[in-house]
Amino acid sequence: MGLFDKIRNEFIDIIEWQDDTSDTIVWHFPRYQNEIKMGAKLTVRESQVAVFMNEGKIADVFQPGMYTLETQNMPIMTTLKGWKYGFNSPFKADVFFLSTRQFLDQKWGTKNPITLDDERFGMIELRAFGSFAFRVTDAAKFLKEVSGTESTYTTEEVTGQLKSLIVTKFTNAVGAGNIPIEKFAANLEDLSKLGQDKLNTDFADYGLTIMRFLVENVSMPEELKKEIFEYSRLNKIDINKLAQMKAAKSIEIAAANQGTMGMGMGMGMGMGMGNMMTNVMGSNMMGNQQNQNQQQQQTTNMPPPMPAQVQYFMAVNGQQAGPFNEQQLMQMAQSGQLTRETLVWKNGMAAWQAAGQVVELSGLFGSIPPPMPPAV
């Protein structure tokens, strides 16, 4: 190396970063003991920020553009170095370039199930995963809080540090989002918006902004899915209508099972046999009439249905108990559980009454002997 080359390499006069990677966030400009010459050219390309650091302290930050380094555009460095205005000498400083473009398709997911307390289903475990995009919005804060003075810092390192924070904040966002568990699958967009808002509140402390946060899937145990499906059906279907529908289906299935063989035979014999079918239909009509007459006779000879037993509720220690039929009430009266003063109520009564005042129950106490006289 000649003398001229040696002198030339003692000073740095061009500072730039030609980023040819897709995942580098921070790159430390290699100074190799050389000094930066006052008047050197600094090139900061679009989607980049250059940060000058002096003896471990963040100094000047340069946005995209071309600069000739002078004391006028390095006010903090000038103060730290103690230069006087216009003093022209080489200096040493660490220069960090930070990429401010969006880093897309960063994956996140729950390594372990997250536990939530739901009012209807109790403690449940969920797993979730998706993707997010972020960018550096405060280069100085990111250097100070995250990357430090490492020579290079990549997306793999930042996502490794922040994935735990993402899962924690997402869990909190889900808990505070007031979205029912059974509607998670249909509201992934709302979950994503909740997660992004919650994360940005905290990521701002690291100089980062979440540009997009996507929840792509939320999974839960199969037993919980079945409970949710049943719960959803009960919410949408009236219980009485559901019972009627199931009863109707049962009758329909039973009728189909009884008539399958006859229906199949009728379909096989019906082709080209119109006259025979007419005769059969006539016979069937006569048979149906006879069956109806027999049913009417049987109905006439059958006794009427037994009257329904009247049931009463009773007040026990200030709480409602029952219902009880008259036979049960008689046993309780004999054992002393039911007294004349016990309040009772049945369907049709306007209010609770003492059992001794109810005509139907007053006879229960006639056969009960009075209490024994006290011993002399």
What separation, in Å, do the N-terminal and C-terminal C-alpha atoms of the chain show? 134
Return the DSSP state at 199: H
Nearest Cα residue to 314 out of 288, 295, 333: 333
Question: Bigger pLDDT: 156 or 236?
Answer: 156
**Span 247-255, average pLDDT:** 73
Give the model's pLDDT for residue 285. 56
Give the model's pLDDT for residue 148. 85
Give the model's pLDDT for residue 375. 65
The pLDDT tens digits of the residues spanning 90-144 come to: 788 899 999 999 999 888 888 888 777 777 777 788 888 899 999 999 999 999 9
**Span 225-252, average pLDDT:** 65
Arithmetic mean of pLDDT over the chain: 77
Contacts of 83 (CB under 8 A, 6+ apart): 71, 89
Cβ atoms within 10 A of the Cβ of 355, count? 22
355 vs 365: CA distance, rounded Å = 9
Q: How far is CA 344 from the centre of its chain?
A: 48
Contacts of 22 (CB under 8 A, 6+ apart): none
Cβ atoms within 10 A of the Cβ of 357, count? 12
Q: Alpha carbon of 96 to those of 93, 176, 339: distances in Å?
A: 10, 40, 92
User: What is the residue-wise DSSP string for 31-90?
Assistant: -TTPEEEEEEEEEE-TTEEEEEEETTEEEEEE-SEEEE--GGG-HHHHHHHTPPTT----
